[in-house]
Structure 1
Amino acid sequence: MKIEEAIEKKEIEREEMEMEMEMEMEVDPQDEPEGSRRPQPWTKQITVRGFTASILIGAIYSVIVMKLNLTTGLAPNFNVSAALLAFVFVRSWTKMLRRAGFVVKPFTRQENTMIQTCAVACYSLAHGGGFASYLLGLNRKTYELSGVHTAGNPSTSIKEPGFGWMCGYLFLVCFVGLFVLIPLRKILIVDMNLTFPSGMATAVLINGFHSRGNKMAKKQVRGFMKYFSISFLWAFFQWFYTGKEGCGFSQFPTFGLKAWKHTFFFDFNTTFIGAGMLVSHLVNLSLLLGAVLSYGVMWPLIGQLKGDWFPASLEETSMKSLYGYKVFLAVALILGDGLYNFVKVMVCTIMNVHGRVRDKKLSAAVDHQKKHLDDQRVNETFLRETIPLWVAVIGYVAFSILSVIAVPIIFPQLKWYYVIAAYVLAPSLAFCNAYGAGLTDMNMAYNYGKVALFVLAAVSGRENGVVAALAGCGLVKSVLSVACILMQDFKTAQLTSTSPRAMFLSQVVGTAIGCIAAPSSFFLFYKAFDIGNPYGEFKAPYALIYRNMAILGVDGFSALPQHCLQLCYGFFAFAIAINLVRDFSPQKIGQWMPLPMVMGVPFLIGASFAIDMSIGSLIVLIWHKRNTKEAELMVPSVASGLICGEGLWTLPEAVLALAQVKPPICMKFVAS
């Protein structure tokens, strides 16, 4: 009986794979030679169940990413995780319907790509929409934390979060980015054949899902569901012990009470463990080094200088006390790393473009001979269904005009001529950013945004400088980031034989959903929890960092605490020196150089989350030592389960908080 069942199971799996291949490729005898096949038209790659799954996955990840942003300001790339979740959802759905006796359309790699693209476009706005940085930096709490008595921080530079204006602002600035690089799609993806590593990795994963068969997929699904359940139930269990602030397992003094006072403890957060499993070992080591340098060495030493470097009577959250050193030294590291990489990517871009133009004629004949049949088919699929130029031109012009009119209404301090200047420069800046990301996988939109922040802060004056700088930073950053993500997704579409039209429509729909889902997830946290409290769980560190960068742009170095400028010079130089060593030393040395921008994150929020993420890295390291093949297959599934489980618990936790339902127990540790 078991043998017959096994044979029947194998037969069903084989039939499913054959049906999928038939649905992915259809013969068109009029256009193609006999025996050749072409992908489905783009209208068949778009499905209702695909958009339904996209909305669900996008909403889930919007909440998860928002939580990570508001706690640490650091979120890993969830593209691979979103593709996996799309595969899990739709495969499970089709199997349920098939067992119920319904005839269902097989799940193809093109539909998987469409869902992943739409979901990523949706949750990307929660990550990059400024809800934990430049937009939140405008609220009253951040204004008070950044120093109410400074001339460059006037009381008029406050704008409290509002669902309406946030949705409108996102809609305006993000949709411009969708149209800016469409005319250059062929040049970046086909002619220059840029790698776009994130887009390529996602394509490899999706192609693997749909070529390995059901055995591997089932193992991944089981791993995801198992750790999703463990993570969700563990978060639910922990909730009962958090009756008051500073209670619960998240305050467990793992290494003793003295270490706990300096934030060195393991807080049992499965979201951060999962995130640590997804990012590189270098990121986690950089976080740990930053935590040791700041909370282990620097802050205890500077704290002993209270009364000498800064008055002992100041509040701990004053920008002229120890808190000011934490903020501005983190800013110095971030700016040093950002400036170096900005210059590096620009130089690489200019040299690469020049080299390609110079060698184009010489290499044309050689390249033609080297092209394989598979590459020709991939490019042919990618280029067959073009996106008309008029769509790009009309879309860019229309949304630019809307922005020039509406953005100054939302932010009167940001004058209309600054918006025009941004959109005139946007196409060339977006090309440079996308080209750099295609070579290095580094989306430098945040650094372009910081340049805009300092320029606008300097030219707008003290009364308008902070608001104009933060709003203008978001405008430039959003346009360039959305355009870059679009090019990465075009690379995924090219390698999975997905129609660019289907991909672009998915991106448009995902962005539109994200303009609602991102503010909704933000206000879920904003209404239920104490956002921006430097001693609470949701510190939102980048809100304070961005506002102080704007104040620095307006006031200059007078905004810094005593002796902070000299330390900032040192950390700025340190960030550049570390990058130089990484790029110009032998690989065996350079590969271990820490990432300065990542090191700066624990400076403000503490060491506990760095310990969590390092444990995630340790799990991956041990797993690879024991069974590399299994680790490569299962790490994304297990990590996604850990992240999604605790992330999803945030929804009922927020509802309970809004309903004034408090946990019954406070578990706290005190000295004997």
Structure 2
Amino acid sequence: MFSVIVMKLNLTTGIIPSLNVSAGLLGFFFVRLWTAAVERLGLLRQPVLTRQENTVIQTCVVAAYDIAFSGGFGSYLLAMSEKIAGLAPEANNAQNIKNPHLGWIIGFLLLVSFIGLFGLVPLRKIMIIDYKLTYPSGTATAFLINGFHTPHGAKIAAKQVKKLGVFFVLSFFWGFFQWFYTATDDCGFHKFPSLGLQAYQHTFFFDFSPTYVGVGMICPHIVNVSVLLGGILSWGIMWPLIAKKRGSWFSADLPDSSLHGMQGYRVRICLIQNAYLPFPLLNSVVLQVFIAIALILGDGLYNFLKMIVLTAFSLRSQVKKKNASTLPVSDDGTVTTTAAISYDEERRNELFEKDQIPWYVAYGGYVVVAAISTGAVPQIIPQLKWYQILAAYVVAPILAFCNAYGTGLTDWSLVTTYGKLAIFAFGAWTGASHGGVLAGLAACGVMMSIVSTAADLMQDFKTGYLTLASPRSMFISQVIGTGMGCVIAPCVFWLFYKAFDDIGISGSDYPAPNAAIFRSIAILGVDGFSSLPKNCLNLCYAFFAGAVVVNLIRDLVPKKVSRFIPIPMAMAIPFYIGSYFAIDMFIGTVILFVWQRLDRAKADTFGPAVASGLICGDGTWVLPQSVLALAKVKPPICMKFLSRRTNDKVDVFLNTLS
């Protein structure tokens, strides 16, 4: 069911929201209904559904439906087809085309989807316990599951569940109410120009999303402030200034549609948790992609190297002191030997570390799967050579760490950002005359599968950590779910692909906008980085260095000062997506900040439950909304906002018709 929903969204708008919460909810209710029915028949000896079982079900479902997105059915896989290649006059020869077929798609996904599960398993303790990354969706799902399984005698827990339930219902019905006014993509409350029409054109508006407000309440204040600062720097300052460089940074004679002109800055790609979203002006740009990557890589690589150095020093200290119980890295990034933690946290840490996944399973699994994939993928995609795949698998763990770290901070998994980086790198490496477009798209698939699976695994580890679920069970559940998804998702796609001849064509029921965009980027990529707009790489170098410098300052100054310094990783997200969600998250952090000022105890106790309720309700509404979309039931009303001058013109036009 979830694979059908994700595939439908993937082939229409490309907007793929997080369905973790919905999976946890339906997993609980369906199994409870099943166990209640079997218990009445006297066939069930163990009628209680435990937290671990609920968490394992949710993990397996998420791993399965995630393949429907990371498998590239609405992006890189479809971009390989003859149908999408025919939309562009360049690189539409036979060596740059591979039409979809159920057999090779299943084989390709089985080869590339599992390796991401092994890449970051050895780092799970550092990401979850030492760095204490929040993973907002994973935290919200854990609160929901814990609420389902709370003992009736726990008064505080019961009140938390009540708060969660109230805001769950409010959020759900708010989504239902908004739906009536979204007859087209340009209608509804999420298009409300709350800060003015000019600000709206630059993505500065409040889109009335309970999900983002809830995420803002869960994320630390500095993360939300950093995201807002990134939005102001990019969409408020940089992109308007770059738009004025026509005739200087790129030829004024080139049409806007040229990838070597303004469109080189304005490639219409935008993500909402791996999603495409069209904006009327200054759509996310190639420059945005690379500046976002520069910030993310600068922050992620810095923390990766910092983690390695600190862990090495800590292990050396442990050997000297013969004290194996010390944590290698504290939450502020310093080596420590003691830590004051609560009983609940101590119990979670103990279980999380006790049920170990052997290091040789992780490293051995990565090497074995990589070796098989390196030899077999070129048999499916001959344009992608074995040494290129090997190079991708060498670099992938670093990129997977960067994405998992960023997801833990902000809940944003920039999977397609790393995929586009692979398109450019491997497309330029192969060259246009040797099938570089197809090689770049295939390399994008390899990179997306690894980076996406690794981030999802850490997200689910966070849920398991908070629900006291066995990490080993979580890992096995991920493996099973991934295997299911590698078969289910291609079959679902094949049904759509065979049933509708116009998939990928603009104006059809399934336009798959990302497919044409990915192919356009691949065509641009085969010319190498030299084809990028003027000063693009210079800006990337500057932002990469800036991210490293900011992190150094954060580590060198006192903690009471560093907590006010923005986080580069968080600042990078709006560079690529837009500022609207930054405003939502900032509103969430303001609500929590005021609540903490008024009553710190209640805010700390009930804040996560309220935030989880907002995220859960809005996430659950996606299910009936998707069912209505599949049934082609359209909202009856379009709520649209016009300027006074435009409205006057519309009135005059309507009067002429009457």
Corresponding residue for 1:355? 313
Alignment of 1:611-622 (within 5 A): 611-622=583-594
After superposition, what is the alpha-carbon deviation per residue over 1:444-464, rounded to whole angstroms, capped at 9, x for unaligned? 999987886665344322343
What RMSD in Å do the two structures reach over aligned CA positions?
Answer: 5.8
Find the structure with the greater CA-based Rg.
1
Task: State the Cα distance separating 1:351 from its structure 2 match.
Answer: 2.3
After superposition, what is the alpha-carbon deviation per residue over 1:219-245, rounded to whole angstroms, capped at 9, x for unaligned? 344444433333333333333333344
Equivalent position amino acid for 1:617 in 2? T
Contact 1:348 1:436 in 2 (8 A): no
- Structure 1 unmatched ranges of 5 or more: 1-55
Corresponding residue for 2:476? 505
Task: State the Cα distance separating 1:173 from its structure 2 match.
Answer: 1.7
- Distance (Å, rounded) in 2 between the aligned partners of 1:479 and 1:321: 33
Query: Of residues 132, 154, 157 in structure 2, which corresponds to 1:197?
Result: 132
- Distance (Å, rounded) in 2 between the aligned partners of 1:532 and 1:562: 32
Corresponding residue for 2:383? 413
Corresponding residue for 2:224? 284
Q: 1:530 to 1:454 in 2, by over 3 A?
A: closer
Say yes or no: does 1:334 pair with 2:334.
no
- Distance (Å, rounded) in 2 between the aligned partners of 1:263 and 1:439: 22
Contact 2:182 2:188 in 1 (8 A): yes
Alignment of 1:59-74 (within 5 A): 70-71=14-15
Task: State the Cα distance separating 1:265 from its structure 2 match.
Answer: 2.5
Task: State the Cα distance separating 1:605 from its structure 2 match.
Answer: 4.5
Say yes or no: does 1:169 pair with 2:140.
no
Query: Of residues 247, 253, 260 in structure 1, which corresponds to 2:193?
Result: 253
- Distance (Å, rounded) in 2 between the aligned partners of 1:301 and 1:384: 53
Task: State the Cα distance separating 1:161 from its structure 2 match.
Answer: 7.2
Q: 1:311 to 1:85 in 2, by over 3 A?
A: same
SS at match of 2:322: helix
Alignment of 1:391-406 (within 5 A): 399-400=369-370, 403-404=373-374, 406=376
- Distance (Å, rounded) in 1 between the aligned partners of 2:13 and 2:556: 33
Q: Looking at secondary structure, tell me which structure has more helix per residue.
A: 1
Q: 1:653 to 1:493 in 2, by over 3 A?
A: closer
Corresponding residue for 1:631? 603
Task: State the Cα distance separating 1:413 from its structure 2 match.
Answer: 1.9
Alignment of 1:528-539 (within 5 A): none
- Distance (Å, rounded) in 1 between the aligned partners of 2:501 and 2:616: 20
Equivalent position amino acid for 1:505 in 2? I
Q: 1:88 to 1:584 in 2, by over 3 A?
A: farther
Contact 1:457 1:554 in 2 (8 A): yes
Corresponding residue for 1:456? 426
Alignment of 1:357-372 (within 5 A): 358-364=316-322
Alignment of 1:200-219 (within 5 A): 213-219=153-159
Say yes or no: does 1:642 pair with 2:614.
yes
Corresponding residue for 2:60? 118
Task: State the Cα distance separating 1:414 from its structure 2 match.
Answer: 1.4
Q: 1:240 to 1:112 in 2, by over 3 A?
A: closer
- Structure 2 unmatched ranges of 5 or more: 267-284, 327-336, 645-658
Say yes or no: does 1:266 pair with 2:206.
yes
Q: 1:637 to 1:356 in 2, by over 3 A?
A: closer
- Distance (Å, rounded) in 1 between the aligned partners of 2:307 and 2:621: 44
Task: State the Cα distance separating 1:503 from its structure 2 match.
Answer: 3.6
Alignment of 1:589-628 (within 5 A): 589-628=561-600
Equivalent position amino acid for 1:511 in 2? T
Task: State the Cα distance separating 1:542 from its structure 2 match.
Answer: 12
Say yes or no: does 1:465 pair with 2:439.
no
Q: 1:451 to 1:216 in 2, by over 3 A?
A: same
After superposition, what is the alpha-carbon deviation per residue over 1:176-231, rounded to whole angstroms, capped at 9, x for unaligned? 3446788x69xx869x9974635999699688965795544443444444333333
Q: 1:518 to 1:287 in 2, by over 3 A?
A: farther
Query: Of residues 80, 105, 108 in structure 1, which corresponds to 2:47?
Result: 105
Q: 1:408 to 1:97 in 2, by over 3 A?
A: same
After superposition, what is the alpha-carbon deviation per residue over 1:456-490, rounded to whole angstroms, capped at 9, x for unaligned? 34432234334323433442563466467657867
Q: 1:329 to 1:417 in 2, by over 3 A?
A: closer
SS at match of 1:555: coil
- Distance (Å, rounded) in 2 between the aligned partners of 1:532 and 1:189: 46
After superposition, what is the alpha-carbon deviation per residue over 1:35-90, rounded to whole angstroms, capped at 9, x for unaligned? xxxxxxxxxxxxxxxxxxxxx8x77996899799944x8x78x87x5897489648
Contact 1:525 1:654 in 2 (8 A): no
How many residues are paired up? 599
Contact 2:355 2:472 in 1 (8 A): no
- Distance (Å, rounded) in 2 between the aligned partners of 1:473 and 1:644: 32
- Distance (Å, rounded) in 2 between the aligned partners of 1:291 and 1:502: 39
Contact 1:194 1:439 in 2 (8 A): no
- Distance (Å, rounded) in 1 between the aligned partners of 2:494 and 2:573: 24
Contact 2:181 2:638 in 1 (8 A): yes
- Distance (Å, rounded) in 2 between the aligned partners of 1:85 and 1:493: 15
Query: Of residues 158, 171, 188 in structure 2, which corresponds to 1:231?
Result: 171
Corresponding residue for 1:4? none
Say yes or no: does 1:579 pair with 2:551.
yes
Contact 2:298 2:544 in 1 (8 A): no
Q: 1:502 to 1:339 in 2, by over 3 A?
A: closer
TM-score, normalised relative to structure 1: 0.67
Corresponding residue for 2:280? none
- Distance (Å, rounded) in 2 between the aligned partners of 1:370 and 1:588: 20
Contact 1:113 1:496 in 2 (8 A): yes
- Distance (Å, rounded) in 2 between the aligned partners of 1:86 and 1:654: 15
- Distance (Å, rounded) in 1 between the aligned partners of 2:231 and 2:603: 28
After superposition, what is the alpha-carbon deviation per residue over 1:287-326, rounded to whole angstroms, capped at 9, x for unaligned? 3333333333333334344455545565545434444335
Corresponding residue for 2:276? none
Q: Quick check: 328-337 or 641-650, which moved more?
A: 641-650
Q: 1:545 to 1:99 in 2, by over 3 A?
A: same
Q: Quick check: 370-379 or 623-632, which moved more?
A: 370-379
- Distance (Å, rounded) in 1 between the aligned partners of 2:444 and 2:169: 40
- Distance (Å, rounded) in 2 between the aligned partners of 1:258 and 1:445: 30
Q: Quick check: 396-405 or 353-362, which moved more?
A: 396-405
Task: State the Cα distance separating 1:330 from its structure 2 match.
Answer: 1.4
Contact 2:296 2:568 in 1 (8 A): no
Task: State the Cα distance separating 1:254 from its structure 2 match.
Answer: 1.9
Contact 2:223 2:570 in 1 (8 A): yes
Contact 2:292 2:575 in 1 (8 A): no
TM-score, normalised relative to structure 2: 0.68
